């Protein structure tokens, strides 16, 4: 049995595509997953299963669509992948502190991709590494360091150039999910 983290794209607190975390937890338990926990309203679900990632994604996406009536993209990472992601952060403490000095906003994010990005799409995206904002791609994860807000960043606003299903979480959320999964 492996521990997984499901990161749902497009789940909102208000507006459209609302799924309450209690309902989301129930959906995962109905599928038969073990140790189901949710974290904050943006769609983070921890669970255990003995199935493979590709099988899990299909099952989860279909069940959510059936139960709530709209499609949600699901990106999975194993507990080991999440721990490695944190351990392998390519930005130094100094770089992160320098970025934080300019803003009260979160500065370190990870965009979780469904697949490893193609080289030509990385080339299209890389032209937006302008000014002090930086990125580093490791496998299916894009580490992003902003010196202002992600909302004001050409880099952050052009993640779609990677032509990949993705969802983004800030470093604080990633570490909290890690704490929950490693308990």
**What is the tens place of the pLDDT at every residue in 73-131?**
999 999 999 999 999 999 999 999 999 886 778 999 999 999 999 999 999 999 999 88
pLDDT for the residue 18: 84
DSSP H helices, the chain, are: 21-31, 53-68, 79-87, 93-100, 119-126, 154-157, 171-181
Q: What's this model's pTM, rounded to 2 decimal places?
A: 0.94
3-state secondary structure of 181: helix
Q: Quote the CA–CA distance of 133 and 148 in Å, as a whole number.
A: 8
174 neighbors 82 (Cβ within 8 angstroms): yes
Q: What's the angle, vertex CA 43, arms to CA 124 and CA 37, rounded to 5?
A: 135
Q: Quote the CA–CA distance of 75 and 17 in Å, as a whole number.
A: 17
Q: Quote the CA–CA distance of 16 and 1 in Å, as a whole number.
A: 34
């Amino acid at each position: 049995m492996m521990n997984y983290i499901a990161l749902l794209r497009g789940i909102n607190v208000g507006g459209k595509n609302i799924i309450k975390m209690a309902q989301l937890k129930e959906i995962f338990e109905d599928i038969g997953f073990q140790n189901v926990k949710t974290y904050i309203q943006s769609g983070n679900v921890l669970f255990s299963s003995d199935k493979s990632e590709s099988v899990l994604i299909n099952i989860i996406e279909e069940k959510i669509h059936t139960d709530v009536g709209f499609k949600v993209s699901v990106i999975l990472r194993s507990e080991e992948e999440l721990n490695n992601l944190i351990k392998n952060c390519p930005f130094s403490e100094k770089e992160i502190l320098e970025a934080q000095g300019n803003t009260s906003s979160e500065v370190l994010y990870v965009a979780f991709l469904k697949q490893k990005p193609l080289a030509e799409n990385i080339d299209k995206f890389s032209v937006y590494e302008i000014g002090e904002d930086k990125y580093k791609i490791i496998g299916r994860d894009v580490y992003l360091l902003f010196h202002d807000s992600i909302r004001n960043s050409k880099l952050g606003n052009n993640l779609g150039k990677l032509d990949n299903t993705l969802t983004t979480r800030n470093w604080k959320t990633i570490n909290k999910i890690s704490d929950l999964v490693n308990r």
